[in-house]
Amino acid sequence: MVKDELINRSPLRILEKLLNGGLGKGNIGVLASKKGIGKTAFLANIATDKLCSDKPVIHVSFYKRTDHIISRYEDIFNEISKEKNLQNAAEISEEITRNRVIMNFNQQGIDVPRILSSMEALITGGNFKADTVIIDGFKIKEAGEEGLKAIKKFAQKLGLEIWISASLRMEGPVFNDAGIPYEIENLVDDFIDVLLTLKYDNQKIQMDIVKGHDGFGGQHSSHLYLDPKTLLVAAE
Amino acid sequence: MSLEKKLRNIGISAHIDSGKTTLSERILFFCNKIHAIHEVRGKDGVGATMDSMELERERGITIASAATNVEWKGTPINLIDTPGHVDFTVEVERSLRVLDGAILVLCSVGGVQSQSITVDKQLKRYNVPRLAFVNKCDRTGANPYKVKDQLIEKLGLNAVLAQIPIGLEDKHIGVVDLVRMKAIYFDADGGLGVEEKDIPADLNSEAEKMRENLLDAISMFSDELAELFLEGGEIPEDIIHDALRKGVLARGIVPVFVGSAYKNKGVQPLLDAVVKYLPAPIDVDNFALDLDDNEKEVLLKSEPTLPTVILAFKLEDGQYGQLTYIRIYQGSIKKGDELYNVRTRKKFKVGRLIKMHSNNMEDISEAGCGDIVALFGIDCASGDTFVKPGLNYSLTSMFVPEPVISLAVEPVDKKAADNMAKALNRFAKEDPTFRSYVDEESNQTIIQGMGELHLDVYIERMKREYKAEVQTGAPQVAYRETISKRADFDYTHKKQTGGAGQYGKVVGFMEPLSEGIYEFVNDIKGGKIPTEYIPACDKGFRTATKKGPLIGFPIVGVKMTINDGQSHPVDSSDMAFQSAALGAFRQAYLKAGPEILEPVMKVTVEGPTEFQGNIFGSINQRRGIIVSSVEDGRSSQVEAEVPLSEMFGYSTVLRSLTQGKAEFTMEFLKYSKIPKTISEELMKKFQEKK
């Protein structure tokens, strides 16, 4: 298989269709689930898909080091190229890493303006033409309305698609009747354009579209899931 | 106890300015002094003390040799000088290789900086167990706790405090030993001895807490300790030492010691720790490559009676000729033994055998397993393996990376020219990645190496050690040419006008070779080209690869196949087929999608976050790819891949962009294809020069 096919046949095209063409520039997408279900893998899938279409990605993380994030990407790419029997995989892998920057913040209590100003330094100072931003491991609840508002403004100003992961509490009821996580209920209306959730369902990690561009559709199954072994996005 | 069980071969690795030299000096000083004191005491029975004046004078000792033998409380220690620069050099790699353990020195103010990361990576690559010493606790802003956290966060080490400081900055007066739960002060015997007291009351609870952490961390290395720890009972000291040692040897733990070498605080307990926790030669696995078995790895055993395997890791010009530093990995040697140099395939006899001390050298008659000693008057290069005749093991792979940068050097006068020749000859022997030659066209001497800093080091050494003043030209990147697709050739070399003619015809194809520089395949059937001329074809192709037609740099990654041809009974000759092959190569080359490759460096820049935009910008302007950035608190570290040709003068630029607050390191990463606009420019320049 060659690269173009890889993009065309990606199960993420299904998600794009369901979202009427994808998240879109200037918009915020949130992927919410409990810890350890596969948010990072899902977002890295989205990022890898973008990278394969030559769209630069900034991956923001909040760990101590960056090497395991890089190897996460490598794993996903290797799985994809193995599964799809990709030709000249090594070359494409090198090509896509050119378009990816990992920005890692490991100070305690970093605030949103600090993150955005570093990103802006990279985009304008470093002339990095980012298309998509992945913000993983971010404390969305703590950032609150103020924080999300700033991120939204930033996305619009620089024409970025921004995906944010949200870790949900492990105990007690997590989702309301509309499938919206209680913890971010107050943010969904004004600042989140697309809300996806991941849930364990019968040995599978099922992805639901809770909010799309058309508004709330309830727990609308996307027929997409995460293969628990390879952590690749797959379609039913 | 035999030598291989008690010896320590250690190195001190550090970021510049973290006090490596001072610490090394203090180690030599204390080892010598303690030795001397014991001797004096033994003779007259009266304790000797020194005043601080004498102490100052004694401080003049510096490590001038590659390995210095000292003794600490009966344990022999070889202190190996690890080069301070972190540019990729074989020299650095080799000195790391002979270490069994290391002290990673960090500044208590600066903490883990980009260079500390580089040296730690080198230690990791060679799997060297290490202790950390947080130095300069007397400095304003000292915070060893923070540095310990950085060791965990930035280097991913399982660092745990084995001591805590008593007072910091100008109040730093001693340390608390968390194993023995004692306060240690360093004022006894006029600053030479150590004094143990009870822990100051205000540090008691802190010490208890940190001891808990320490015990918790090492409990996984000792079941005995884990049990006692859980029961909450008294834990005997030797069980703690034992668990710590196991943890260090397994590279599972890095105990952190604190002090100030400059103020003589904490050096003696650090030496105790070297003896207690770092490995002896017998505790470390070393491998050789069996050259009779396709470079297969064989485990060497630190046993004095087994056949000898030795690495020559450093050459030095001494007063009396060449001194070769060796490490004995297996077996032992005596004066008069016969050894075999695996590279040159020559046997030689062990003549003078030397042990280097900090202030003198000692002639010895034999050296045991694991030891580091020096040989006089052996003709060899550094990196050579010496074995007992009969073995064919090599300790280093025969692979040497090609240099990526070159520089023209011009001696200022006749004397400098003589000295320069001597120096170049020596450096090339010491370091296979350093080369020099005289360019036929310009008649200039060109030196080649692995980076700007690498060559700077040698130019500095020429001046300092060989008194060779030289002027240098602009550094030149070692580009390469290669091909991107298969192309056929069908070439006839013919000169048959009068006299002896020349005739040769070669047919075949060239194709890209993904690994390696050049390969030749003879696929001729039915003697179309007589066997005797095949080597000439190979030679012709090789000649063609020396200078590529695009920009005159060597061609790499080509596989040449010949499958047809023709010869003439009278006019064919070696010469004719060489010319034919050369012509065929040139014919096919331009059809094979020729490309220019350039060396790309892995660059790490570290500086205050407010300059991040400038740092990103400077990398972008240099055609660099930003791989990642890591921010913590006020500083940010940017990792990037940048072509070497764009990195000249970067330190100056970076300094002015960041008010001198950022620093960078780089090492060779790979060869990559050059963008079209730049390759066109290079080709234009090459054509003009022609």
Q: How far is A126 from chain B (nearest CA, A)?
A: 4
A229 in contact with B, Cβ within 8 Å: no
Q: Are B475 and B601 in contact (CB under 8 A)?
A: no
Mean pLDDT across the stretch B168-188?
Answer: 88
Q: Are B622 and B650 in contact (CB under 8 A)?
A: yes
* Residue B342 predicted with pLDDT over 90: no
Question: Count of CB atoms within 10 A of residue A230's CB?
Answer: 16
* Residue B210 predicted with pLDDT over 70: yes
Q: Are B603 and B88 in contact (CB under 8 A)?
A: no
Q: Among A62, A70, A118, pick the best mutation site for testing chain B contact (most B Cβ within 10 A).
A: A118
Q: What are the two backbone dihedrals, phi and then psi, of residue B458, each rounded to the nearest 5 degrees? A: -70, -35
**Residue type for position B223:** D
Q: What is the pLDDT of residue B508?
A: 94
Chain A residue numbers with beta carbons less than 8 Å from the beta carbon of B632 are 105-107
Antiparallel, parallel or unpaired: β B75-80 and B182-185:
unpaired
CA distances from B351 to B324, B362, B383 (A): 12, 14, 20
- HEC letters along chain A: CCHHHHHHCCCHHHHHHHCCCCCCCCCEEEEEEECCCCHHHHHHHHHHHHHHCCCCEEEEECCCCCHHHHHHHHHHHHHHHHHCCCCCHHHHHHHHHHCEEEEEECCCCCCHHHHHHHHHHHHHHCCCCCCEEEECCCCHHHHHHHHHHHHHHHHHHHCCEEEEEEEECCCCCCECCCCCEHHHHHHHHHHCCEEEEEEEECCEEEEEEEEECCEEEEEEEEEEEECCCCCCEEEC
The chain B residue lying nearest A105, using CA atoms, is: B631
- Using alpha carbons, select from B505, B522, B517 the residue that is nearest to residue B583: B505
* Residue B491 predicted with pLDDT over 90: yes
HSE (side-chain half, CA atoms, 13 Å) at A66: 22
Q: Of B534-538, B568-572, B658-662, which has the strongest mean pLDDT? A: B534-538
CA distances from A32 to B226, B384, B409, B663 (A): 40, 59, 63, 40
Cβ contact A102–B627 (<8 Å)? yes
| CA dihedral over B316, B318, B323, B327, signed as positive or negative | negative
Q: Structure tokens of B550? A: 């695009």
Q: Among A71, A101, A114, pick the best mutation site for testing chain B contact (most B Cβ within 10 A).
A: A101
Chain A residue numbers with beta carbons less than 8 Å from the beta carbon of B156 are 64-65
The single residue listed with the structure tokens 């001797």 is B39
Cβ contact A128–B156 (<8 Å)? no
pLDDT tens readout for residues B215-271: 888 888 888 888 888 887 788 888 899 999 999 998 889 999 999 888 888 899 999
B631 in contact with A, Cβ within 8 Å: yes
Q: Are B82 and B96 in contact (CB under 8 A)?
A: yes
Chain A residue numbers with beta carbons less than 8 Å from the beta carbon of B654 are none
Q: How confident is the model at residue B443 (pLDDT cuts 50, 70, 90)?
A: confident
Whole-number Å distance between alpha carbons of A23 and A13: 12
Q: How far is B96 from chain A (nearest CA, A)?
A: 24
Cβ contact A125–B628 (<8 Å)? no
Q: Among B154, B618, B631, pick the best mutation site for testing chain A contact (most A Cβ within 10 A).
A: B631
Q: Among B621, B628, B673, pick the best mutation site for testing chain A contact (most A Cβ within 10 A).
A: B628
The chain A residue lying nearest B149, using CA atoms, is: A64
Which of A65, A124, A128 faces B626 most closely, judged by CB atoms?
A: A128
Q: What is the pLDDT of residue B12?
A: 84
CB pairs under 8 A between A and B: 75
Query: Which residues fall within 8 angstroms of residue B5, CB to CB, at 6 or more apart?
Result: B280, B282
User: Which residues share a beta bridge with B68?
Assistant: B79
Q: At what angle do helices B237-249 and B204-218 cross, to 10 degrees?
A: 50
Mean pLDDT across the stretch B630-655?
Answer: 86
* Residue A155 predicted with pLDDT over 60: yes
A126 in contact with B, Cβ within 8 Å: yes
B158 in contact with A, Cβ within 8 Å: no
Question: Count of CB atoms within 10 A of residue A25's CB?
Answer: 14
* Residue B46 predicted with pLDDT over 70: no
**Lowest mean pLDDT, pick from B158-167, B225-234, B365-374, B634-643:** B225-234
Q: Among A104, A112, A115, pick the best mutation site for testing chain B contact (most B Cβ within 10 A).
A: A104
Q: What is the pTM of this model?
A: 0.66
Q: Are A209 and A217 in contact (CB under 8 A)?
A: yes
The single residue listed with the structure tokens 């320490």 is B214
Which of B156, B625, B630 faces A104 most closely, judged by CB atoms?
A: B630
Q: How far is A51 from chain B (nearest CA, A)?
A: 14
A235 in contact with B, Cβ within 8 Å: no
CA distances from B31 to A168, B164, B364, B404 (A): 59, 24, 20, 42
Whole-number Å distance between alpha carbons of A6 and A22: 17
Cβ contact A64–B153 (<8 Å)? yes
Q: What is the pLDDT of residue A26?
A: 93
- Using alpha carbons, select from B339, B330, B280, B325 the residue that is nearest to residue B304: B330
Which of B156, B616, B619 faces A65 most closely, judged by CB atoms?
A: B156
Collapsing DSSP to helix, strand or coil, B402 comes out as: coil
Q: What is the pLDDT of residue B275?
A: 93
Q: Are B539 and B573 in contact (CB under 8 A)?
A: no
Which of A103, A110, A121 faces B613 most closely, judged by CB atoms?
A: A121
Q: How far is B443 from chain A (nearest CA, A)?
A: 41
User: How far is residue A206 CA from its own chain's centroid?
Assistant: 15
Q: What is the pLDDT of residue B577?
A: 93
The single residue listed with the structure tokens 């650095």 is B92
Q: Where are the alpha helices (DSSP H) in B62-186?
A: 90-97, 114-125, 144-153
Q: Are B600 and B641 in contact (CB under 8 A)?
A: yes
* Residue B482 predicted with pLDDT over 90: yes
* Residue B66 predicted with pLDDT over 70: no
Q: What is the pLDDT of residue B591?
A: 93
* Residue B75 predicted with pLDDT over 50: yes
Q: Is B471 exposed, middle or buried (0-12, 13-18, 19+ CB in 10 A)?
A: exposed
Whole-number Å distance between alpha carbons of B276 and B257: 13
- Using alpha carbons, select from B264, B274, B314 the residue that is nearest to residue B19: B264
Q: Are B314 and B63 in contact (CB under 8 A)?
A: no
Q: Structure tokens of A126? A: 């470093």
Mean pLDDT across the stretch B653-674?
Answer: 85
Cβ contact B631–A125 (<8 Å)? no
Chain B residue numbers with beta carbons less than 8 Å from the beta carbon of A97 are 625, 627
- Using alpha carbons, select from B106, B176, B164, B174 the residue that is nearest to residue B135: B106
Mean pLDDT across the stretch A169-176?
Answer: 83
Which of B613, B628, B633 faces A66 most closely, judged by CB atoms?
A: B628
Q: Are B117 and B604 in contact (CB under 8 A)?
A: yes
Cβ contact B616–A125 (<8 Å)? yes
The single residue listed with the structure tokens 């003078």 is B352
* Residue B47 predicted with pLDDT over 70: no
How far is it between the farthest Cα atoms of chain B?
106
Compute the CA torsion angle A28, A33, A36, A42 (nearest 10 deg). Answer: -40
Q: What is the pLDDT of residue A1?
A: 64
Cβ contact A118–B612 (<8 Å)? yes
Q: Are B476 and B485 in contact (CB under 8 A)?
A: no
CA angle A219, A225, A230 (to 5 degrees): 155
A93 in contact with B, Cβ within 8 Å: no
Question: Count of CB atoms within 10 A of residue A218's CB?
Answer: 13
Mean pLDDT across the stretch B662-666?
Answer: 82
Q: Is B653 exposed, middle or buried (0-12, 13-18, 19+ CB in 10 A)?
A: middle
Cβ contact A125–B154 (<8 Å)? no
In percent, the amount of chain B with pLDDT more than 70 equals 90
Cβ contact B153–A65 (<8 Å)? yes
User: How far is residue B615 CA from its own chain's centroid?
Assistant: 28
B521 in contact with A, Cβ within 8 Å: no
Strands (DSSP E) found in B116-248 = 130-135, 159-161, 163-166, 174-177, 182-185, 195-197
Cβ contact B609–A122 (<8 Å)? no
Whole-number Å distance between alpha carbons of A235 and B8: 60
pLDDT tens readout for residues B497-531: 767 788 999 999 999 988 788 999 999 888 889 99
Q: How confident is the model at residue A135 (pLDDT cuts 50, 70, 90)?
A: very high
Q: At what angle do helices B20-44 and B267-277 cross, to 10 degrees?
A: 90
Q: What are the two backbone dihedrals, phi and then psi, of residue B547, each rounded to the nearest 5 degrees? A: -135, 110
Q: Structure tokens of A160? A: 């970025």
b/e sequence B171-195, b meaning 16+ C-beta within 10 Å:
ebbbbbbbbeeebbebeebeebbbe
Q: Are A80 and A232 in contact (CB under 8 A)?
A: yes
Q: What is the pLDDT of residue B49?
A: 30
**What order do you get walking across the sheet with B346-349 strand by strand?**
B346-349, B338-341, B385-387, B309-318, B321-330, B372-376, B353-356, B361-364
